[in-house]
A = this chain, B = another copy of it.
C-alpha cells in the first residue's frame, strides 16, 4: 500500500518524539508499505515565531509571516528525515516548493491549486522515504505561502490525492473522533469510522483532530483518512465515504460550540431587502453568520431578526447591526453572549424519522429551553443558554445511546476496507 502519514506538532514536539515518529515510519515501511511523511512544525514553534513577529509589529505583513512561519515545518521535516536515515532507511526532506504545491496568492490562508509531486514520486521509485514540510506552498511566481492553521493536514490529504495513495494517516495526540467530548461525557466512545459529511458537521469535535478544509478536500478526491494517535497503537477513526453501515445509526455524535453570540434586531420593518442589507454589511466585515431566524411579523409591518456570530466578532457585528438598524428604523438591537450551540449529527437522519423531535423532547425533559433551531440534512442544532451546555451534551449523548456501554447494541463493529489503486 502507498500510505501518506502526517504527524502533528505534538507528535514531533521533541527529539525523542521525532525518533518515535521515525520508528513508526520505518515499521510501516518494513510491513511492505511505501510511506510518504508529512510533518507539522514542532509544537509551540509556530506560536513562538508569531510571538516574535508580534513583538515587532501588531500587524505584520502577511507575505513576511508566510516566509517566517514556513520555517517551522522545514526544521521538523529535516530533523525527521535525519532520524529516518539514522535507522538505516534513506530519506529526504522536501519543502512545499520542492513537492510542487502550487497555491493562489492569498498569503496566510492560501488555497492549493495543483500539486505536481514529481520529486515525491521519484523518491518513492528510488526507495527513498520523502518527508514533506507541511502547511506550505508556493505561488506561480515563487512566493512562499502557508495554508492556514492546521494546513499540514491539508498538505497530507492533497499529497495523498495527488499520489492516489491508498490511505492518509493523520497522527495526532488523541485516539480518533469521539461521539462527543470525553471531557464532558466520560462514557464517550471512539468512532471506528465516520463519513466526510458527518466529520464536517461535527466541527467542534472533528476540527480539533482534522482541519475542516482537509476533510472537504478528502471528500472531493475520495481520500480515506485515518485519524489516530502517535502515542499508541490504537486503531483510530477512519474518515471515509458514507456507506450502508453508517446509515443504520441515526446519530453519530453530539457536538457543541460555546463560541457563539446572538444579536437580535427588534421590530424592523418587514419589507424586502432588509435582511440582505444587514447580512451583506456583516459579510463585508468578514464575519461568518451561523444561524439566522426571522419571525413572521404578527401585524405584517414589523419583524424581529435574530442571528448568531462567533463570540470573538460580536462587538464588531453589534456595531454594524446598530448602524443598519438605525437606518432601517428598527426599535433596538440586543446582544446576548451567554448562549451555546448543541448539535446532533448523523447520516442516518436521512432515513430515520423523529430524530429532531427526540432531541427537543430530551432537552425539554431536562428543563433546557431552546432559543433557536437550525437543521441540515444530517444535523440538528439548538441554541440554548450557555450554562446548560454540558448538561445538554450529556443527556443527548445518553438519549441517543452513543456511550461505550451501548456500543454492542447500537453500533456493530464496522468493517473497514480501503480502496485499491
Chain A residues at the B interface, C-beta cutoff of 8 Å:
15, 18-19, 49, 52-53, 55-57, 60-61, 63-65, 67-68, 70-71, 74-75, 77-79, 81-83, 85-86, 92-93, 95, 97-98, 142, 144
- Name the distance in Å between A40's Cβ and chain B's nearest Cβ: 15
A57 x B75 contact (CB < 8 A): no
Contacts of A60 in B (CB 8 A): 82, 85-86
Q: Choose among B61, B65, B68, B82 the residue that contacts A56 (Cβ–Cβ < 8 A).
A: B82
5 tightest A-B CB contacts, nearest first: A68-B78, A71-B71, A60-B82, A57-B86, A15-B55
B82 x A64 contact (CB < 8 A): yes
Contacts of A55 in B (CB 8 A): 15
- Name the distance in Å between A5's Cβ and chain B's nearest Cβ: 18
A79 x B52 contact (CB < 8 A): yes
- Name the distance in Å between A320's Cβ and chain B's nearest Cβ: 29
Contacts of A65 in B (CB 8 A): 78, 82
Instruction: For the complex, give the distance between the alpha carbons of A388 and B75 in Å.
Output: 46
A64 x B52 contact (CB < 8 A): no
Instruction: For the complex, give the distance between the alpha carbons of A78 and B52 in Å.
Output: 11
Instruction: For the complex, give the distance between the alpha carbons of A225 and B19 in Å.
Output: 45
Q: Choose among B15, B71, B77 the residue that contacts A75 (Cβ–Cβ < 8 A).
A: B71
A49 x B63 contact (CB < 8 A): no
A93 x B78 contact (CB < 8 A): no
- Name the distance in Å between A185's Cβ and chain B's nearest Cβ: 40
B93 x A79 contact (CB < 8 A): no
A77 x B67 contact (CB < 8 A): yes
Contacts of A144 in B (CB 8 A): 95
Contact A142-B97, Cβ < 8 Å, known A63-B92, A78-B64, A78-B68: yes
Could you list 30 examples of A-B contacts with CB < 8 Å? Answer: A15-B56, A18-B56, A49-B75, A53-B79, A53-B82, A56-B82, A56-B83, A56-B86, A57-B82, A57-B83, A57-B85, A60-B82, A60-B85, A61-B81, A61-B82, A63-B92, A64-B79, A64-B81, A64-B92, A65-B78, A65-B82, A67-B74, A68-B78, A68-B79, A70-B74, A71-B71, A71-B74, A74-B74, A95-B144, A97-B142
